Amino acid sequence: MKKINVLISTFFGYGYLTKIPGTVASAVTTVFIYIAYEILDYTNLKFSIIFFAILFLYSFYAVRDAESEFEKKDPGQIVIDEVLGQWMPLLLLLYLNKTGKISIQVEYYYIISFFSFRFFDILKPFPVSYFDKNHKNYFGIIMDDIMAGLYSMIIIYLVSFIF
């Protein structure tokens, strides 16, 4: 089971690829979701939310189990948290797109989503910094990216509202 949890926590090995695994995982997530939603036209919002929720809940167990495989407390190889955080504004984008509430080309939203998530994940404004500094475990690993994802959702919503 530990091997499966390491596989999930490293997003099927993407966490091992570079010196910037979080950015790579965010970019790959953005591309995967773009392909699913925009090219393959998979727009089942309810299923996407349920799958996200299951992955979110399971990731706590997976990261806690996989963390012991690495030498430090917040190993860079664990990137499922970036996948979840990056996916959040893309779920909002799916909703906005389905309800006709986007007014600029959809690809711009994906680009804005990627850069805004990375901005908040790297800069760590409160409450992102709270989880990063005060929970040096699987909970903090995941929740700081969830908070960055919430900030990115706000940016996506504001862009859709302004334009």
pLDDT of 163 higher than 90: no
Please give the average per-residue pLDDT across 107-135, as a whole number.
96
- What confidence category does residue 61 fall into, taking pLDDT thresholds of 50, 70 and 90? very high
* pLDDT tens digits along 85-115: 999 999 999 999 999 999 899 999 999 999 9
**Is the pLDDT reported for residue 46 higher than 90?**
yes
- At 19 the three-state DSSP class reads coil
Distance from C-alpha of 83 to C-alpha of 145, rounded to nearest angstrom = 9
pLDDT on residue 53: 98
Neighbours of 122 (CB within 10 A): 11
Q: Which pLDDT does position 13 carry in this prediction? A: 92
User: Across residues 138-146, what is the average pLDDT?
Assistant: 96
Q: What is the pLDDT of residue 75?
A: 86
| Whole-number pLDDT of residue 58 | 98
pTM: 0.94
Q: Is the pLDDT of residue 33 over 80?
A: yes
- DSSP states along 29-73: HHHHHHIIIIIS----HHHHHHHHHHHHHHHHHHHHHHGGGSSSS
The answer, yes or no, to whether residue 72 has pLDDT greater than 90, is no
